[in-house]
Structure 1
Amino acid sequence: MTWSEPGADGLGEAVGVLREWRAEGTPAQLHPGDLGWFWRSGAAATAAAVRLWRGHGGRVLAVGLLDGPDLLRLAFAPDVRRNEELARRLAGDVTEPGHGVLPEGRVNVEAPADSPLLDLLAAEYGWRTDEPWTPLARGLADPVEEPGVRVEVVGPERAEAFAAVHRSAFGGRRFTAERWHAMAAGLPYADGRSLVAYDGRGEPVAAVAVWSAGPGRPGLLEPMGVHAGHRGRGYGAAITRAAAAALRELGASSATVSTPTANTAAVATYEAAGFHRRPETHDRYRDASNRP
């Protein structure tokens, strides 16, 4: 069993298996929409951040995304998600020097809650438990109520409105209309959609990207944000309801999202939009104090 980067030409395989692996009633794991959102940095950067673990015959057993310099997010094929041999191989790959899966310094690993990997990292390598995250979900069997504000689908002409809301909501300057175009050109965006909500004066006040994994599979909100100058007025819940409705139109069985538990305002926003909490999850992390 070995790992590799897929290269830009191999990203379709990674996106395809992530779609196939998503199913209702299973623990949350890396979603094709996570690759879709990362695609804002371009196909080459996305390919460099993806790791594939293959078994006999070249079958992909696990997909990882180095989501920034210090977080590896993982997904597993359903029949090996709880396989201890695979978990031990990945534990060695992410822990032992020279494997190249993770950089030096503090790093986190996110994996499905029922994978043995997380317990192995803690028990045998001394990795610690990080702060809790709260997953939330809303079933989409029934129609979603109206958002209560004007919401429009983002095309090229509204890319800057989406980007401006995102920059304000998350306090950064890097997300531009050009990055939206790169994201929209990515393979996962074939099952994606971007939305912007407007106030009564026509100002963009909230934005969200949604990602379907295909009909009958859970969809994802990533990211959702409200302009800093328009918070506390219900726009977050409104755009979240619109996101759920968009995923229903795309055939998703549910809408899912995850946020740090400490972000109580975000948890309350999703609950106001009809989402329900699921059991908290925890990454494992290592730093200089628990490096083998």
Structure 2
Amino acid sequence: MWDLGMTIEVETPAVGGLELVVARLAEWQVDGGAVQLHPGDLGWFWRYGAEQTAAAVRTWARDGELLAVGMLDEPDLLRVAIAPGAQEDEELARRIAADVADPAAGVLVEGKVYLETPNDSRVRDLLFVAGWELDDPWQPLERDLAEPVEDSGLAVEIVTAETAAVRVGVQRASFDGSTFSEERWHAMAGGTPYARARCLIGRDAAGEAVGAITVWSAGKGRPGLIEPLGVHRNHRGHGYGRAMTLAGAAALRELGASRAQVLTPCFNEGAIATYRSAGFELLPQRRDQYRKA
């Protein structure tokens, strides 16, 4: 379908190659740039272990230079970040489009599949021409961290190996069907992205753990990510979501982040309202593309 050159190579990196992948993803996070796959997304996936994380990653490179990184959130969903200077690179776009369209390339499975790429990337244009369609919208939000963040009103503590069980308990009580565990927390905390991350739990006046958040920095002066935020199902309706969001934003500022970013489905009006109440502003919506089965 696409006339391809031979200079772009796609591969699945070895575990040892993940450090470079994380470094490049961090460099691609820029103020005012596309909201796209963040090193924190890899960091949260790392709860499944380094080997499974590496197996979920796809990279596209020219002459050894990484131009795009994809992560399989699911076997049928690939999230792709593209280097800021390569968003309109025709050869790269054609190679990515060809690889995601061909199950034999080992990037996406057969049948109905989904692809997330930056809104203005050339690859989106090519896939629309090939018949791919738009999926349901997602809402990115961000808060500028130039000024100090107001106090959350909660007793907030940084999660350590000794309090990982509490963090896990809040996560499992916040998301139905969660499979988070202490083992997975330790795997995540041992991953490369977690060196610039922070896990927090918030406690109410009685000392009960009511909420938790994990935030990921991409380095000083770059946007950081919230992934995930949760409020214990037994403690909802008290403003703890806003409080934990403020705590997470403050932690990102301490880590040197320029902005705090988060992404949530547009149908999740409660989450959007929570982030707005914590000073986050709406960014242009994002929509994955999908290929019918």
What TM-score range do you get, normalising by the shorter chain?
A: over 0.9
Partner Cα separation in structure 2 for residue 48 and residue 102 of structure 1: 12
Q: Percent identity?
A: 56
Is residue 157–residue 201 contact of structure 2 (8 Å, CA) maintained in 1?
yes
Match of 2:174 in 1: 169
Q: Provide the rounded CA distance (Å) in 2 between the counterparts of 1:96 and 1:182.
A: 33
Contact persistence 2:102–2:108 (CA under 8 A): no
Q: Deviations over 1:58-102 (max 9, x none)?
A: 111110001122210111111111222211110100002311101
Which residue of 2 is the match for residue 267 of structure 1? Answer: 272
Q: Which amino acid aligns with 2:288?
A: D
Q: d(CA) in 1 for partners of 2:210 and 2:112?
A: 36
Match of 2:202 among 197, 204, 225: 197
In 2, Cα distance between the equivalents of 1:134 and 1:173?
Answer: 23
Q: Summarize deviations over 1:136-168 as a string: whole Å, max 9, x none.
A: 000000000000111111001111111111112
1:104-143 alignment to 2 at 5 Å?
Answer: 104-124=110-130, 126-143=131-148
Partner-residue secondary structure (3-state), 1:247: helix
Provide the C-alpha distance between the structure 2 equivalents of 1:236 and 1:105, rounded to a whole number of angstroms. Answer: 38
CA distance in 2, matches of 1:69, 1:167: 23
Taking the aligned partners of 2:201 and 2:103, their CA distance within structure 1 comes to 44
Alpha-carbon offset, residue 173 of structure 1: 4.1
Out of 15, 26, 36, the residue aligned to residue 19 of structure 1 is: 26
Give structure 2 stretches of 5+ with no counterpart.
1-7
**2:68 alignment counterpart:** 62
Alignment partners' CA distance in 2, 1:105 and 1:232: 41
| Counterpart secondary structure, 1:141 | coil
Give the aligned partner of residue 95 of structure 1.
Answer: 101
What one-letter code is carried by the residue in structure 2 that aligns with 1:171? D
Q: How does 1:43-62 map to 2 (within 5 A)?
A: 43-55=50-62, 57-62=63-68
Cα distance between partner residues in 1 of 2:40 and 2:61 = 22
Matches of 1:200 and 1:106, distance apart in 2: 49
Unaligned runs of 5+ in 1: none
Is the partner of 1:67 in helix, strand or coil? strand
Q: Hey, what does 1:75 align to over in structure 2? A: 81
Partner of 1:3: 10
String of CA shifts for 1:27-67, please: whole Å, max 9, x gaps: 10110000000000000000000111110x21111100011
Contact 2:171 2:178 in 1 (8 A): no
Give the structure 2 partner of residue 180 of structure 1. 185
Please give the alpha-carbon distance, in whole angstroms, between the structure 1 residues aligned to 2:23 and 2:237.
Answer: 39
Root-mean-square deviation over aligned CA pairs: 0.9
Q: Distance in 1 between matches of 2:121 and 2:47?
A: 29
TM-score (norm 2): 0.96
Which whole-Å deviations, capped at 9, do the CAs of 1:98-130 have from their partners, x for residues lacking one? 111011222210011110212221222x11100
Equivalents in 2 of 1:267, 1:173: separation in Å?
Answer: 21
2:100/2:108 contact within 8 Å kept? yes
Decide which of 220, 226, 229 is 1:224's aligned counterpart: 229
CA distance in 1, matches of 2:128, 2:87: 18
Question: In the aligned structure 1, how far is the partner of 2:231 from the partner of 2:120?
Answer: 33
Q: 1:31 corresponds to which residue?
A: 38
Secondary structure of the corresponding residue to residue 260 of structure 2:
strand
Aligned to 2:243: 238
- Per-residue CA distance 1:240-287 (angstroms, 9 max, x = gap): 000000000000000000100100000000001110011111000123
Paired with 2:169 and 2:92, the residues of 1 have a C-alpha distance of 43
